[in-house]
Amino acid sequence: MKYEAVIGLEIHVELQTRSKIFCGCSTAFGAEPNTNCCPGCLGLPGTLPVLNRRAVEYAVRAALALNCRVQGKSVFARKNYFYPDLPKAYQISQNEQPLAWGGYLEVDFPTGSRRVNLQRVHLEEEAGKLIHAGDSIMSAAYSLVDYNRAGVPLLEIVTAPELHSGREARLFLEELRTLLLYTGVSDVKMEEGSLRCDANISLRPAGSAGLGIRTEVKNLNSFRAVEQALNYEAERQAAILADGGELFTATCHWDDNRKATVVMRKKEEAADYRYFPDPDLPPLILERSYIEAMREQLPELPRERRQRLRESFNLSDDEAAMLTATRELADFFEAAAESYRDYRNLVNWVQGDLVYRLRESGKRADEISPAMLVELLELLDAGEINRPVAKELLAEMVKSGVSPRKLVQQRGLGKISDQESLLPLVEQVIAENPDAVENYRKGKEKALAFLVGKVMAMTRGRADPQELNRLFREKL
């Protein structure tokens, strides 16, 4: 039988507020362990939570960007369980009455563009971070715990089971990441854990409607891992079914070294978290006017921007996607395009050398001046510098922030066309290449190009070829 994979994602996003969701402790990443903690985030008795206004604002903004129905009333509940990363032995989360219901994200899949529906979006607090000895939960003899992260605001986003391959899950997550970057609510870095994803996956006979028995895959630390793990897990399940075996509900761990999922625990029944409304927190009430004001303030989102740029600059889909990958890059491109009219050339430089140099130096596009790139392209267009020099200057400009014109002056990188500089080189090349000289004198025009090429190489392309041609003809 042919099977189809069915995948639903549970995504956690750390909101980039300065302080935690229920206390004033800092959320700064990378601080000395257990220094950003107070009695409140350690769960000591007698402390009371106070909701962070900014965390709510970010959550509402993200939910609106995801087309969700943001609720006028939502309720914080205690999710009770015991685990060392949870000092209070309960996590404040939202259960029966989440911040938002529904919503969707439109994604361009290889099979075409499609809406992926969401089930809900809610606010909760982060747990602490366990650091397992030897870095593997499977073999650690002990674990350390850092409560700095406990209480960082988290947004949970749950999709409907509407994705059908590892590739689709990855594309969905990448689109989600771009969207959240545009809204500015999180830095959304999978590698640093500010974007995390657990994936539920089951199989069903291709073309049928129901849902099969699922496993939940954890430890997905990169987009690539999401794709690989889900493809692996779909095949693992299919192999069991093909063998006449039976599947059971389970939690799996993705082993990124072995490139395999490992069943960690069989789920006998749903965990009972004894949810109840947190008596220390009143319901979160949001006025319609507040929600509508937040909707008004949403920036132009990636999909609209991609489309607008594609149309106004006549770009291919890939070019538009590349230029709008981040809001900063799209802003950069549009600012440069205001004063530089050769769009084709601009697109090529931005998506080629500029993006490469930004990545190399770890900078964002808003740390570079669009006017400087325009200056560089104008120097190139005017013939004051050649292409290899322009590429070199771009790298230098990104690294140091010094303007291309200044760099040309400082380093004498401009075109060489004066006779005093060129003549000695011409004479040297004539002396060193008697065969070519002879050939030229016998009427072989090609030999002249060879000689000119020699001087070009000596000057790393900076000599003016027309002037060289003239000088060689004169000398020979």
Binding site for ligand ADP (CB under 6 A): 6-10, 158-161, 200-202, 211-212, 214
Contacts of 114 (CB under 8 A, 6+ apart): 106, 107
Look at residue 10 and give the partner it binds from ligand ADP, Zn ion, none, a contact being a CB closer than 5 to 8 Å depending on partner kind: ligand ADP
**Helix, strand, or coil (residue 468):** helix
Look at residue 38 and give the partner it binds from ligand ADP, Zn ion, none, a contact being a CB closer than 5 to 8 Å depending on partner kind: Zn ion
Cβ atoms of 166 and 175 closer than 8 Å: no
- Shortest distance in whole angstroms from residue 247 CB to Zn ion: 43
Contacts of 103 (CB under 8 A, 6+ apart): 63, 66, 67, 68, 69, 117, 118, 121
Look at residue 161 and give the partner it binds from ligand ADP, Zn ion, none, a contact being a CB closer than 5 to 8 Å depending on partner kind: ligand ADP
Contact with Zn ion (CB under 5 A) among 25, 185, 380, 451? 25
How much of the chain is in helix, strand and coil states, percent to nearest 5?
40, 20, 35
Q: Which residue is nearest to ligand ADP (CB)?
A: 8
Tokens of 349: 């430089």
Positions 407 through 466 that interact with Zn ion (CB under 5 A): none
Q: Taking the CB of residue 310, how many other CB atoms lie within 10 A of it?
A: 17
Tokens of 37: 């903690």
* CA 175/CA 179 separation, integer angstroms: 6
**Helix, strand, or coil (residue 375):** helix
Largest CA distance in the chain: 101
Residue 126 or residue 156: which is nearer to Zn ion going by CB? Answer: 126
- Shortest distance in whole angstroms from residue 223 CB to ligand ADP: 18
Look at residue 16 and give the partner it binds from ligand ADP, Zn ion, none, a contact being a CB closer than 5 to 8 Å depending on partner kind: none
Site mask, Zn ion, residues 28-67, x = CB under 5 A?
A: ----------x-xx--------------------------
Look at residue 407 and give the partner it binds from Zn ion, ligand ADP, none, a contact being a CB closer than 5 to 8 Å depending on partner kind: none
- Shortest distance in whole angstroms from residue 41 CB to Zn ion: 3
Residue 25 or residue 154: which is nearer to Zn ion going by CB? Answer: 25
Cβ atoms of 118 and 11 closer than 8 Å: no
Contacts of 284 (CB under 8 A, 6+ apart): 51, 56, 73, 74, 75, 76, 99
State how far the alpha carbon of 475 is from the alpha carbons of 36, 275, 418, in Å.
77, 93, 16
Look at residue 455 and give the partner it binds from ligand ADP, Zn ion, none, a contact being a CB closer than 5 to 8 Å depending on partner kind: none
The label of the residue with tokens 């601009």 reads 346
Site mask, Zn ion, residues 83-102, x = CB under 5 A?
A: --------------------
- Shortest distance in whole angstroms from residue 119 CB to ligand ADP: 6
Residue 9 or residue 350: which is nearer to ligand ADP going by CB? Answer: 9
346 makes contact with Zn ion (CB under 5 A)? no
Look at residue 370 and give the partner it binds from Zn ion, ligand ADP, none, a contact being a CB closer than 5 to 8 Å depending on partner kind: none
- Shortest distance in whole angstroms from residue 20 CB to Zn ion: 5
The binding site for Zn ion (CB under 5 A) comprises: 23, 25, 38, 40-41
